Amino acid sequence: MDDGTVKKVLVIARAKVCPVKWKSIPKLELEAAVIMTKLLVYAAQALSIPVTRIQPWTDSEIVLTWLQKMPCRLETFVANRTAFVLEALPHTGWRHVPISSNPADIASRGSTVSDLTSSNLWWLGPPWLAQPETAWLKTQAKPLKQPLPCETAVTLLAASTTSSSLTWNIDQRFSCYYYMVRILTWARRLVKNFFKIPGASYSSTLQYEELTNTKSLLLRLQQCHSFPEVFNHLKRKKDLPSKHPLAGLIVS
């Protein structure tokens, strides 16, 4: 509030029945994080609250660990959902909350109407949430005693060639332009970090500038593949005539 007081109130909630096709508990908890992310973005837009002021919580230690890793190191199911969460809430650090202080646990385990209506945890959240942020409960997720599930090994291969007849088939390897841009951006960052190229980033989320650079690169590669004669003409540092029909499609 403007006077410095804190008011807690339940704005929106949603529960989802587990699918018939069985999934592991960590994957179900990740699905819950995706649902919560959608609700947080929806509520922020409806209440005109900047997304950067949102503080998400989860009681899943595995989900927290997944969100701290690059999606390219995870299997497809987990990578797609962690990438969505990190893009929708790019500047928010997820925190761990004990199960005993998590209102969402009430919905996931089921509750009678009488118990739900009288539950302060459900309607108001944990008591410490009304205190200043510096006094919030600080709990650290325990280190995992076994390998992280759904994590895949990444092998980095580097090769160089002087041939100008490289086959352009990268657009055939992806069924979605959105995922193609994100995966290639992660790959470019991995190469930069591995070779310690200036401008390398170690952030857990992709930056707008990185995504824009990848889109520009894809556009240039597509133009070079589709119009090789025009590309060779420009490679000799000769501008296309202004009246050329493709002059406006070249990205310098």
**pLDDT (0 to 100) of residue 148:** 58
- Alpha carbon distance 14, 115 (integer Å): 17
3-state secondary structure of 85: helix
Summarize the confidence of residues 119-126 as an average pLDDT: 90
Query: Cα angle vertex 162, ends 156, 163, to 5°?
Result: 105
For tokens 């499609």, the residue is 249
Q: Pinpoint the alpha helices (H) of 100-140.
A: 104-109, 113-117, 120-124
Q: Where are the domains of the chain?
A: 25-135, 170-249
Reported as a single tens digit per residue, the pLDDT across 12-24 is 888 888 887 777 8
Which pLDDT belongs to residue 110?
78
What is the pLDDT, as a whole number, of residue 147? 54
Q: Find the mean pLDDT for residues 68-87.
A: 87
pTM (predicted TM-score) = 0.56
Chain segment 198-225, per-residue pLDDT in tens: 776 777 788 888 888 888 888 888 877 7
Q: Which of 37-41, 42-46, 78-82, 170-174 has the lowest mean pLDDT?
A: 170-174
Query: 206 near 186, Cβ under 8 Å?
Result: yes
pLDDT of residue 156 exceeding 60, the answer is no
Q: Band the pLDDT of 163: cuts 50, 70, 90.
A: very low
Tokens, residue 57: 């919580």
Closest CA to 72 of 161, 194, 167: 194
Q: What's the mean pLDDT in 97-110?
A: 86
How far, CA to CA in Å, does 186 sit from each of 15, 180, 247? Answer: 33, 10, 31
pLDDT, tens only, 131-149:
888 888 776 555 555 555 6
